[in-house]
Homo-oligomer: A and B are copies of this chain.
């Protein structure tokens, strides 16, 4: 039997207390997702393997909804800002909400029917992610980007499609400014 509880969320650090699990994604695990593979290899060559993002979950399998935080570090690979892998949900009827707590970024979305969309991520903005839209978060700021996500417990993740074809847009720093361009190597 599930019991209610108050879960403390630190909007700066992303800490979730109590948490039920967490994982970290380091730069070496994101090979192939950045346009500039040479810069990625160079960043890893020194032996460092920086954390790009961490996910902390509050997930109870017997409940229909779950939540957690994502903490994205600031950084770039070449001129491309740090990004998450990006995924569709395995269950096609499942959407999600990303409620930004601190930092600034961009949520890139690609729909199954060929559209793309960009939602600004900044404190106080809750991004609505409809079903059938792949989504990838990008930290375009100088501080960690922290958001709380809410979705169906069994939504599932399909990373393969985005991993193979990329997303339709890239978010780069050009002349010190954030720039969103069409992805020249998008495999439609």
Q: Are A152 and B65 in contact (CB under 8 A)?
A: yes
Contact of A124 among B9, B67, B117 (CB under 8 A): B9
**How many residues of chain A are within 8 Å of chain B by beta carbon?**
47
Tally of this chain's copies: 2
Q: Are B6 and A127 in contact (CB under 8 A)?
A: yes
| Chain A positions 97 through 109: 1 when the CB is less than 8 Å from some CB of chain B, otherwise 0 | 1010000000101
Interface of A is mostly: strand
Asked if A54 is at the interface (CB within 8 A of a chain B CB), the reply is no
Q: Which residue of B lies closest to A123 (CB)?
A: B11
For A187, what are the chain B residues with a Cβ–Cβ distance below 8 Å? none
Q: Are A113 and B4 in contact (CB under 8 A)?
A: no
Q: Are B62 and A128 in contact (CB under 8 A)?
A: no
Q: Are A96 and B65 in contact (CB under 8 A)?
A: yes
Interface residues of A (CB under 8 A from B): 1-11, 58, 60, 62-65, 67, 93-97, 99, 107, 109, 111, 113, 115, 117, 119-121, 124-131, 133, 135, 148, 150-152
5 A–B pairs (Cβ distance < 8 Å), ordered by A: A7-B128, A8-B126, A58-B128, A65-B97, A67-B150
